[in-house]
């Protein structure tokens, strides 16, 4: 199972919106809505930000939203804040009953 | 509250095995899968596998099949990951994570602090 494809880096200024894409195949994102997004500041464990494409766990700001079209899922962060600077990873359930992660995207808040 | 506390850092020689533990608390242990995820230095997240805490059934990524053993001790509410025939590229932080459960299966929701495994001659 190959990793999902994410852009290596994205950037934005405070207050702006950014979108991070996550491209898979018909064996994962294209068939299942079990897509999650994780935030990982340096030296820390990942934190779940979105699950089931666009659902937010308790405590995650509504500035974080998710969507999916075909084999590609997207994470949008609106009203960027300095504390949003981190690595972001997507994951998806697969037809092999496994989980696959994306390669990660470094978000810089300029 | 849900807590996952992992065992301490390990240093192993190539060819050896390592066993990492993940002590859970704050929820009904047998009701949730536990995932294992690793992260090599400076690299991304890689799913290793999962264990069904109720019946001990496991799934693992193809890359690890034959080398990984995941077990659980229900009385101790603890899950274990054992990786054998270690190579230098197994050097990584290994995380355990509790699944989201009903309505969000295959969602690693609550994470342990990570265990650094270093493989070096």
pLDDT tens by residue, B53-106: 999 999 999 999 889 999 999 999 999 999 999 999 999 999 999 999 988 899
Interchain contact, A99 vs B109, CB within 8 Å? no
For position B45, what pLDDT does the model report?
A: 97
B106 → closest Cβ in A34, A48, A103: A34
Are B95 and A45 in contact by the 8 Å Cβ rule? The answer is: yes
For position A38, what pLDDT does the model report?
A: 98
b (16+ CB within 10 A) / e for B1-34: eeebebbeebebeeeeebebbbbbeeeebeebbb
Return the residue of A nearest to B4 by Cα.
Answer: A45
Q: What angle do CA A25, A28, A30 make, to 5 degrees?
A: 60
CA A14, CA B77: separation in Å to the nearest integer? Answer: 43
Q: What angle do CA B119, B120, B121 make, to 5 degrees?
A: 135
A102 touches chain B (CB under 8 A): yes
Distance from the Cα of A55 to chain B's closest Cα (Å) equals: 10
For position A5, what pLDDT does the model report?
A: 98
Cβ contacts below 8 Å, chain A against chain B, sum to 67
Could you list the pLDDT tens digit for every one of the 110 residues in chain A? 689 999 999 999 999 999 999 999 999 999 999 999 999 999 999 999 999 999 999 999 999 999 999 999 999 999 999 999 999 999 999 999 999 999 999 999 99
What is the torsion angle, in degrees rounded to the nearest 10, for the CA atoms of residue A91, residue A6, residue A28 and residue B52?
-20
Return the residue of A nearest to B39 by Cα.
Answer: A45
Interchain contact, A1 vs B50, CB within 8 Å? no
For position B18, what pLDDT does the model report?
A: 98
- Percent of chain B past pLDDT 90, that is, above it, reads 95
Residues sharing a CB contact under 8 Å with residue B21, sequence separation 6 or more, in sequence order: B6, B7, B78, B79, B80
Tokens representing B82?
């054992």
Q: Label residue B14 by pLDDT band (50, 70, 90).
A: very high
Measured from the Cβ of residue A2, the count of other Cβ atoms closer than 10 Å reads: 10
A88 touches chain B (CB under 8 A): no
For position B65, what pLDDT does the model report?
A: 84
Backbone torsions φ then ψ of A99, nearest 5 degrees: -120, 140
């Amino acid at each position: 199972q190959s990793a999902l494809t994410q852009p290596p880096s994205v950037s934005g200024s405070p207050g702006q919106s950014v979108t991070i894409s996550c491209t898979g195949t018909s064996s994962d994102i294209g068939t299942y809505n079990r897509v999650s997004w994780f935030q990982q500041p340096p030296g820390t464990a990942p934190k779940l930000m979105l699950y089931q494409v666009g659902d937010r766990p308790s405590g995650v700001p509504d500035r974080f939203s998710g969507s999916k079209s075909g084999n590609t899922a997207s994470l949008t962060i609106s009203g960027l804040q300095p504390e949003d600077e981190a690595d972001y990873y997507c994951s998806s359930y697969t037809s092999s009953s496994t989980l696959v992660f994306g390669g990660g995207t470094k978000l810089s808040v300029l | 509250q849900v807590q996952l506390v992992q065992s301490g850092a390990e240093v192993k020689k190539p060819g050896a095995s390592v066993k990492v533990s993940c002590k859970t608390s704050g929820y009904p242990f047998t009701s949730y899968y536990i995932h294992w995820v690793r992260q090599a230095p400076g690299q991304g997240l890689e799913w290793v596998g999962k264990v069904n805490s109720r019946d001990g059934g496991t799934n693992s990524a193809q890359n690890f099949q034959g080398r990984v053993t995941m077990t659980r001790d229900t009385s101790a509410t603890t899950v274990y990951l054992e990786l054998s025939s270690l190579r230098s590229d197994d050097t990584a932080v290994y995380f355990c994570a509790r699944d989201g459960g009903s309505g969000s299966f295959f969602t690693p929701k609550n994470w342990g602090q990570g265990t650094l495994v270093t493989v070096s001659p």
